[in-house]
């Protein structure tokens, strides 16, 4: 399909587009913006919901906020001088993403209520066939930007389906259900629970917190950003860029205790002091001390979670759940607790993301079948055997110390380099060489050895079913960005179709191009 720089022309057509993007969170919107900046208008974004925003649209539970400072948890090319707090809450981040979609002219490209049910590579036609809830499409290039925190993880608890009260996951919060005066069970003590438990504790009659493993918690250094500070950033954008850079560099230092277990003890002492100040009762405090090195699981930040557990209407249950009954929960010590509602704070499906079961490569196998329970990709972005497929926040691109938006932008630059390489050479397809992918994955795992994520003494959601950490990048994020920015042609293979077109860019107008037949 030929491209045009005339944005008044139809986007994506009835049948397809040159580039299809799945998802409209940070990854999908960021990729779309970079395509437009390069003069590429023939793309479409498939979004299953009715609005953009990804995880920041879906997670509306009370207290939902980001654990990374606002000036860093945003696009580098779209700074927001008007953040109200150093750590923004969900509504403000969602508004930011909606504003980006509008201001960068992405809305005409988005197909809302289009849930992608399957994507399969057509080797003969050299394009992707995409089945959505609203019809079939084709696309030369496919960008998976569905995100790592998009599918809630539902726990396998005996009898859960028999419960006759109210049950919902924190990522699907039921705002119509009034918690006031209710007996509520919260299952899980991860990042979401740490935020919503203090919010609902004053409302409920009784809160039973079922804790399997306590998290390490550090203080949240949050503050309101005053009018003068916001005005400064509006008038002098360089000041905000300097603030962003300072936050980034400081957070990069967080990597050191994760990579070196001896340094982890320093951070652990900070967390212990925070726990001691927040929880005076030694018996309750003993329940809340993790038995693993800090960083092995996600480190959480909160000022009000631990104090909320000391309130008279809260009970921390550590015996585990034996079964759920129609109106109660029975723990493994034989204690039965009547409850009116169960809130699942059980996180997301990260290493077994559902989309992997619905994306088929050259040989007809799905990503899930190829990965065999352990996701692997070159630079976390491209996969051998899956031509023209790009995954944002793919394997080993998560971070335990810095902003994933930084990683997303680095991946997008690699995607743009790969697309440009393929189009300049008139190739119909591009994919990483299997040996290059294997070498990259092996190097990442060597770098992972001896870190808190593999030697910290815990079983975290960072680990896939094979026991391999296929979630996190085990190094400084700037190193990933530097490597992703350089595309090594020797590590990719190109496919050519006679009669295909290639794009010839004008050196003096890099966002303009013409097409030539190969």
CATH topology of domain 174-215+253-344: FAD/NAD(P)-binding domain (3.50.50)
pLDDT tens, position by position, 227-253: 999 999 999 999 999 999 999 999 999
- Position 505 scores a pLDDT of 42
pTM: 0.91
- Position 214 scores a pLDDT of 95
Is residue 384 within 8 A of residue 378, CB to CB? The reply is: yes
Tell me the average pLDDT of the chain.
91
481, pLDDT greater than 90? yes
509, pLDDT greater than 90? no
Domain assignments of the chain as residue spans, ordered by start: 16-52+106-151+350-517, 174-215+253-344
* Torsion angle of the four alpha carbons 224, 76, 296, 440, in this order, in degrees rounded to the nearest 10: 180
Q: What angle do CA 225, 228, 232 make, to 5 degrees?
A: 100
In order of 99, 222, 233, 238, the CA distances from 243 in angstroms are: 22, 15, 9, 9
Domain 16-52+106-151+350-517: state its class.
alpha beta
At residue 195, the 3 state secondary structure works out as helix
What percent of the chain is modeled with pLDDT above 90?
82
- Position 351 scores a pLDDT of 60
211, pLDDT greater than 60? yes
Segment 59-76 mean pLDDT:
96
pLDDT tens, position by position, 87-129: 999 999 999 999 999 999 999 999 999 999 999 999 999 999 9
User: Alpha helix (H) ranges present in 189-236?
Assistant: 191-200, 227-235
In order of 158, 182, 305, 317, 343, the CA distances from 330 in angstroms are: 10, 18, 25, 11, 16
- Position 494 scores a pLDDT of 97
pLDDT tens, position by position, 146-185: 977 667 778 889 999 999 999 999 999 999 999 999 999 9
Between 446 and 500, the more confident residue is 446
pLDDT tens, position by position, 362-417: 999 999 999 999 999 999 999 999 999 999 999 999 998 999 999 999 999 999 99
Is residue 400 within 8 A of residue 252, CB to CB? The reply is: no
pLDDT tens, position by position, 6-25: 332 333 444 578 999 999 99
474, pLDDT greater than 70? yes
2, pLDDT greater than 80? no
- Position 463 scores a pLDDT of 87
Binned at pLDDT 50, 70 and 90, residue 507 comes out as very low
Q: Do the domains 174-215+253-344 and 16-52+106-151+350-517 match in fold? A: yes
510, pLDDT greater than 70? no
Binned at pLDDT 50, 70 and 90, residue 4 comes out as very low
CA quadruple 33, 39, 40, 44: dihedral positive or negative? positive
What percent of the chain is modeled with pLDDT above 70?
92
- Position 355 scores a pLDDT of 86
513, pLDDT greater than 70? no
- Position 354 scores a pLDDT of 78
Is residue 398 within 8 A of residue 471, CB to CB? The reply is: yes
Residue from 166, 168, 127 nearest 42 by CA: 127
CA 219 to mean position of chain CA atoms: 23
- Position 12 scores a pLDDT of 40
- Position 497 scores a pLDDT of 81
């Amino acid at each position: 399909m030929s491209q045009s720089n005339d944005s008044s022309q139809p986007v994506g057509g009835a049948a397809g587009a040159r580039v299809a993007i799945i998802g409209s969170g940070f990854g999908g919107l960021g990729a779309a913006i970079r395509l437009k900046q390069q003069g590429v208008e023939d793309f479409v974004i498939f979004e299953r919901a009715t609005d953009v925003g990804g995880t920041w649209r879906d997670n509306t539970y009370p207290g939902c906020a980001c654990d990374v400072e606002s000036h860093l948890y945003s696009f580098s090319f779209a700074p927001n001088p008007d953040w109200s707090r150093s750590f923004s809450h969900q509504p403000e981040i969602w508004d930011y993403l909606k504003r980006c979609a509008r201001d960068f002219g992405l809305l005409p490209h988005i197909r809302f209520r289009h849930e992608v049910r399957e994507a399969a590579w057509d080797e003969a036609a050299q394009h992707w066939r995409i089945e959505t809830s609203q019809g079939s499409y084709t696309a030369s290039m496919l960008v998976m930007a569905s995100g790592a925190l998009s599918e809630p993880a539902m726990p396998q608890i005996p009898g859960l389906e028999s419960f006759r009260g109210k049950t919902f996951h924190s990522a699907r919060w039921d705002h119509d259900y009034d918690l006031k005066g209710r007996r509520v069970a919260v299952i899980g003590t991860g990042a979401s629970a740490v935020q919503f438990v203090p919010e609902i504790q004053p409302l409920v009659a009784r809160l039973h917190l079922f804790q399997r493993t306590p998290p390490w918690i550090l203080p949240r250094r949050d503050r309101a950003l005053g009018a003068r500070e916001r005005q400064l950033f509006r008038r002098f954008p360089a000041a905000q860029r300097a603030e962003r850079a300072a936050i980034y560099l400081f957070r990069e230092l967080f990597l050191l205790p994760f990579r070196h277990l001896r340094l982890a003890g320093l951070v652990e002492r900070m967390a212990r002091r925070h726990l001691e100040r927040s929880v005076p009762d030694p018996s309750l405090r003993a329940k809340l001390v993790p038995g693993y090195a800090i960083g092995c699981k996600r480190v959480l930040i909160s000022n009000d979670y631990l104090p909320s557990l000391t309130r008279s209407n809260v009970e921390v249950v550590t015996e585990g759940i034996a079964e759920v009954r129609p109106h109660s929960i029975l723990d493994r010590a034989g204690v039965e607790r009547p409850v009116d509602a169960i809130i699942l704070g059980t996180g997301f499906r990260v290493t077994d993301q559902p989309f992997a079961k619905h994306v088929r490569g050259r040989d007809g196998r799905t990503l899930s079948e190829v990965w065999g329970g352990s996701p692997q990709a070159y630079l976390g972005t491209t996969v051998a055997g899956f031509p023209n497929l790009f995954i944002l926040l793919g394997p080993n691109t998560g971070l335990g110390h810095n902003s994933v938006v930084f990683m997303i932008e680095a991946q997008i630059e690699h995607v743009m380099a790969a697309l440009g390489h393929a189009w300049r050479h008139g190739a119909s397809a591009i994919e990483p060489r299997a040996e290059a992918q294997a070498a990259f994955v092996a190097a990442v795992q060597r770098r992972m050895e001896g870190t808190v994520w593999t030697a910290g003494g815990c079983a975290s959601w960072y680990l896939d079913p094979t026991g391999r950490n296929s979630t996190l990048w085990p190094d400084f994020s700037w190193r990933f960005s530097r490597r992703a920015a350089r595309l090594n042609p020797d590590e990719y293979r190109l496919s050519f179709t006679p009669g295909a077109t290639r794009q010839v860019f004008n050196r003096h107008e890099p966002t303009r191009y013409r097409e030539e037949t190969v």
